[in-house]
Chain A
Amino acid sequence: MELKAIQGAIESILFVAGEAVTEDEICKTLEIDQKMLLEALRQLTVIYQENSRGLQLIQVRNTWQLGTKEENADYIVRFAKQDTRKTLSNAAMETLAIIAYKQPISRIDINQIRGVSSSSSSIKILLRKKLIQEAGRMDVPGRPILYKTTDRFLQMVQLKTLSELPDLEQFKA
């Protein structure tokens, strides 16, 4: 398969997928190897960087997804005629920050750090926004649910992997 044709095929696949697609999946579908795929994705990324293109390739771990470009957000909102972008509350954002660095972590430990008696509503919102997910249970009496961040969280903070999170020391002033 020619490289240009591969790029076209990847674009089509990512368009219909409407969600992040793993490199493995694309390789299997197109019957190409990893090296070829990455080269095609690298070139596609460059093509999308052109001003004339309204989409961008977003990589999280080994998955790829097509999304619109940030600079077109206002037009999209105007087109949709309403702004559905709701930001997280401070409480939810704090909870997310704690989960990001302390995962997997239980609700009680989150409360402990935040110094409050309940983080349930924050956790509910984060679960609904699919920024966190359950990560099994802690092996202590009561078997509390543990939480961890999702790929959508990585997408939000624009990181490819969790290991790219800035060192916690960096925030100590």
Chain B
Amino acid sequence: MDIQINIDEFEGPLDLLLQLIQKNKIDIYDIPIFKITKQYNEHIKKWQDMNMLVASEYIVMAARLLEMKSAMLVPTLQETEESAEALREKLLAQLLEYQLFKKVSDYFRPLESLSQNVFFKEPEDIPMESEEDVNTLDLKVLMGCYQRLKAANEEAVPLEGQIVREEFLVEEKMNAIHKALQGQHKMSFQALLHQGISYKEITVTFLALLELFKTNQITLYQAHIFGDIIIHKI
């Protein structure tokens, strides 16, 4: 059995065509369609005979070649059909562009192996003094934090009473932020949030903030992660 043909050898139908052109020493600008179509189909046939799964793109190209061949044999009558010349032009353009990038990748290849001879070291993990030490975290501080959160939560969610759907509009909140910024250059995001504010309102306020930022009306500054956001008027 002749197994010198390996489908993985080709990176696609264009690659197969280019290699056929090269093997036959054909001028790419003057491809003998009949000959190439025959050879192309022989390859596909060989793969199929070997029970190899031929990717659909190879079949599509086979169909294109056949279309071209038939267009050359039978003059096109309908205007919707492309002439053999147009089909050939299209394929040529595609082949040329693909060939170009194949050459670029040939140019990259030695650079790749060269660059693989340079090794870099991983970033150093330098412990920072400012990083809070978990061991020294005061239990009292932690408790205080919890208490505050709990209290805030209790205020925000009444245990009984009627639940009214709140409606907040980003535009409204944008106006509110504008108003709040009147007469001052900067303010904190915290200051925009009133006691017992719902998550939904916080979210909408935050969205308004992002919108203002996006449209270049304010700048935002945060000293550290989870810290308060400072809003600056532009």
Contact = CB atoms under 8 A, between A and B. Distances in A.
Interface of A: 15-19, 56, 58, 65-71, 73, 76, 85, 87-88, 90-91, 93-94, 96-98, 100-101, 113-117, 155-158, 166, 168, 171-173
Interface in B95-113: 97-98, 100-105, 107-109, 111-113
Which of A15, A73, A97, A166 is most buried by chain B, counting CB atoms within 10 A of its CB? A97
B124 interface: yes
Contacts of B117: 70-71, 73, 85
B94 interface: yes
B101 A156 contact: no
Interface stretch (B8-16, B79-87, B129-137, B144-152): B8-16
Contacts of A155: 115
B4 interface: no
B12 A116 contact: yes
A93 B105 contact: yes
A41 to B, nearest CB: 17
Given A67-B119, A73-B117, A115 B57 contact: yes
Interface of B: 11-15, 55-57, 61, 94, 97-98, 100-105, 107-109, 111-124, 126
Contact of A87 (B55, B112, B118, B120): B112
Given A115-B94, A171-B100, A171-B104, 19 more contacts: A16-B123, A56-B118, A65-B120, A66-B120, A67-B118, A67-B119, A73-B116, A73-B117, A73-B118, A87-B116, A93-B105, A97-B105, A97-B107, A101-B104, A114-B14, A155-B115, A168-B100, A168-B104, A171-B103
Contacts of A96: 105, 108
Given A18-B124, A87-B116, A115-B98, A158 B111 contact: yes
Contacts of B61: 115
A8 B104 CA distance: 40
A173 B118 CA distance: 32
A65 B123 CA distance: 11
Contacts, number: 114
A171 B105 CA distance: 10
B123 A113 contact: no
B108 A157 contact: yes
Nearest to A131: B112
A18 B115 contact: no
Nearest to A56: B118
Contacts of B123: 16-19
B120 A18 contact: yes
A101 B120 CA distance: 27
Contacts of A71: 117
A97 B118 contact: no
A15 B169 CA distance: 52
A156 B14 CA distance: 27
A9 B167 CA distance: 58
Nearest to B117: A73
B112 A73 contact: no
Nearest to A16: B124
Nearest to B119: A68
Contact of B112 (A19, A67, A88, A94): A88
